[in-house]
Chain A
Amino acid sequence: MTSNHEFFIDPSRCIGCQACVQACGECETHRGVPMIHLDYVERAAGVQTAPVVCMHCEDPTCARVCPADAIKQDDRGVVLSAARPRCIACSNCVLACPFGVPKMQVRYDLMMKCDLCYDRTSAGRKPMCAAVCPSGALFFGPREDIEKSRREKPVNEFQFGRQRVRTKVNIMTAPDNDVLSIDIADFLPRETPDMHPRPGARPGAPDAADAAIWNEWNSGPAELATAPE
């Protein structure tokens, strides 16, 4: 990989064209099986989509919960897909990843996930998804380039409750943010299915969560990338 090139994600730029999904399946390390996730956030309420690649955590939870030492991290910090001889298909990594990235391929008894197009990036080329993304939601290049051209700021730290996670992949966020804090209370339904109030969910949640969650409640989330969890 060109040493100063990094991966940047800006989900708000995603237009849901699926070019990344198609291109991802061309990667040699998992040919024919796209690893990028492209979900509708709330399909019934809008067309917002969420592209998610592996964020390549500095201390990957997926690798630490693997009972078979199947997930390795290389010296550049890339967290590789499960080693085929070792993976025992327990799904620990699928459930533990805070970004919801690993995919369990039930038929193969094997976890597979984005490996930052290892065959390409190790040879100095762009990952497939970033190479074809028409809207710049997925960008691979020097940090200076994206800092010059965007008003958002790249960060690679996330706060999940009490857990701080540092990643190799960056997400674009507001200029005054150094960390992207994940809030869940505002995005939970306010009532349980049996209509009891759910005290964990705060009133005054943003509209996006509000209307859409109830639509999703009835219809279920639609997914563009259909690989099973």
Chain B
Amino acid sequence: MDSRPRPPAQRGAARAAWLFLLPVLVGFGLFYLYPAARGLWWSFTDYSLLAEPEFTGTQNYAELVGDAQFWNALKVTALYVVLNIGSQTLLALVLAALMHRLTRSVMVRAMLLVPWLVPNVTVGLLWLWLLDADLGFVNHLISSLGGESTAYFASPTWALPTVALVNTWAYTGYTALLLYAGMLQTPGYLYESAAIDGAGETRTFFTVTLPLLRPVLALVLVTSMIGSFQIFDTVAVTTEGGPVNVTKVIYFYIYQKAFHQFEMGYAAAAGVALVAILGALVYVQLRLLKASSSDLG
């Protein structure tokens, strides 16, 4: 190929490439690279948006290590992620398997996808209303079954699980469709031979479907976990971090530091910590992903 005289278009390729890339490079430079560098710089400064940033060395980081609120935010986020991803993945897996074996209906899939298409703010408002202690439908339902009406978002015990389950509601359908798409890649003959061998549905799921889904499942877990870590909207609408900080997740903590207390430098340092944590998480998960390539090869 290279020994042939290059056509004129090939020679101009490099110049053409830069022209094609120009808008994206401008956008990337201005709104990704520059702010990333700036955020990193801020994390070493005292900065309130009003005066110029003032270099303070590693003071923000030192404070962060001793900041009980910061550790609380991490703990809350971790708990949230476990509750949310745990319930969501399990439910989605069951739903995907059921769809896979029962129906190819686009209508069913479309309905399951609706909550994912709706803004999180709407989801938050909707559940705030459904779970309203006086008039909410869910509480009506619970009282009519003899239970006690509870202000779930205002309860220190229930607030975090409630937020986690609300987002499980919002994202299970989407996750199920991703897993379902993965299941469709499993060759049909495996099911036929499983049926010939007399394996029941449950057995087939655990010996055929699940092992072959592993790489897809791992990838879906990585992406949904990254998303879950960044929960903000639902908390901002329903609990605003309360009651007594039980739902103050890391995103909300950073947001408050930056835009309520105007401690931009400190917020940036917490942001750097978040980048590091997510990076480590992704690294570990990708390692596990590599170790678990599909049995189909």
A binds B: no
